[in-house]
Structure 1
Amino acid sequence: MKKDTTTTHTWYALYTKSRAEKKVAEGLEKLGVINYLPLKKELKQWSDRKKWVEVPAISSYIFIKITADQYRSVFAVNGVVAYVSHKGNALAIPEHEIIAMQRTIENKINFNVVAGDIKKGEEITVTSGPLCGIKGIVQTVQGTKKLYLNISNIGYTLVVDLQEASVEKQ
């Protein structure tokens, strides 16, 4: 079966104006553009109170899944600055990286590597827990175990503590 490139959806990162991420997400929703704005809860302090608020996990970025036909339409949304690109070409982000980021942020659960023969720098796959199926690079194998989930092309890495999860080497 031949693939129709106009209906193939690809993930990209958009750079937004500062503190405009939520408005951009709303605007993209109105356009019918699939988007993902990773949010985290932070305790904010005001002079008279403290309050938990949701803030973007990565400031000034939002992720979109679009077809080639939708490429230019996102600029109709107020607050969109540019695609994250290299030499003028928007850089696609692999779907498995978006899924890893979504699972990491949405589950809010710590993990720990329990396998004894895993070495620093090895690529592993988590085989149990909320991050099951996610691949990453082992940063260290002593003390707290870290899984680094690289988000291609935007220069960010999610660092996840692995506790009570099984992993296997690639």
Structure 2
Amino acid sequence: MSRRWMIKQGKSQILPGSRYHEGEKKWFIFYLRPRSEKLVNKILTALNYEVFFPTIRSLRVWKNRQKKRITLPLFPNYLFVYTYEHELYNIGCQPRVANYISCDGKPTTISRQDIAGVKRMLGMDKTITVETRFTKGEPVRIVSGPLAGYEGVLIQQNGRTRFGIRLEAINHTVFIDINRSTLERR
């Protein structure tokens, strides 16, 4: 079944898992309407897409001094979907999805290694922060521990040594506290 035949027959929508695919799967970034990450994650998962929706637990204090642990998205308004490029339109048509991130008209992707690094950071029992204002640090590679082999940047902040993986496509850097003895310069 060719793409021309499908368009001619009015079947331009290609479902995930179908026989027809162009290119290879990549991690694409979608920008969502505010506070709709959970809903879009649920919709796309139901449509059999592989979605990465990183969350963190945070302690919030309400006006009545009540403390409560809530789940917050690590990257507000962003969702990562592992799919083919020709499926971007179908995903963009879903409710509450604003658009996919692109540069020069081409969809922006995140490397598998960066996604795996963020997943591994989330699996550790340490405090994770995300910053958009980033101070330049020296490039390093982790040589031992659960993040061994990952490359990123090293900064000193408030007397702590912090390792960060830079996600340039969305201008965010994910930081975690780390022991300096597990690092080497690149």
Distance 1:104 1:42, change over 3 A: same
Deviation at 1:93, TM superposition (A): 1.0
Q: Identify which of structures 1 and 2 has the higher relative contact order when contacts are C-alpha pairs closer than 8 Å and 6+ apart.
A: 1
TM-score normalised to structure 1 length: 0.81
Does 1:103 pair with 2:154? Answer: no
Distance 1:127 1:16, change over 3 A: same
Q: Distance in 2 between matches of 1:93 and 1:11?
A: 5
Aligned pairs (5 A) from 1:134-145: 134-140=150-156, 143-145=159-161
RMSD: 2.5
Structure 2 partner of 1:29:
45
- Are the equivalent residues in 2 in contact too, given 1:149–1:157 (CA < 8 A)? yes
Choose 1 or 2 for highest CA Rg: 2
Distance 1:141 1:18, change over 3 A: closer
SS of residue matched to 2:99: strand
For residue 66 of structure 2, the aligned residue among 35, 39, 49 is: 49
* Bigger shift: residues 143-152 or 31-40: 143-152
Structure 1 partner of 2:166:
150
Q: Percent identity?
A: 23
Deviation at 1:23, TM superposition (A): 0.5
Structure 1 partner of 2:6:
none
TM-score normalised to structure 2 length: 0.75
Q: How many residues get paired?
A: 158
Q: Distance in 2 between matches of 1:156 and 1:95?
A: 16
- Are the equivalent residues in 2 in contact too, given 1:94–1:152 (CA < 8 A)? no
- The structure with the greater share of residues assigned to helix is 2
Distance 1:127 1:109, change over 3 A: farther
Q: Distance in 2 between matches of 1:6 and 1:122?
A: 39
For residue 82 of structure 1, the aligned residue among 99, 118, 138 is: 99
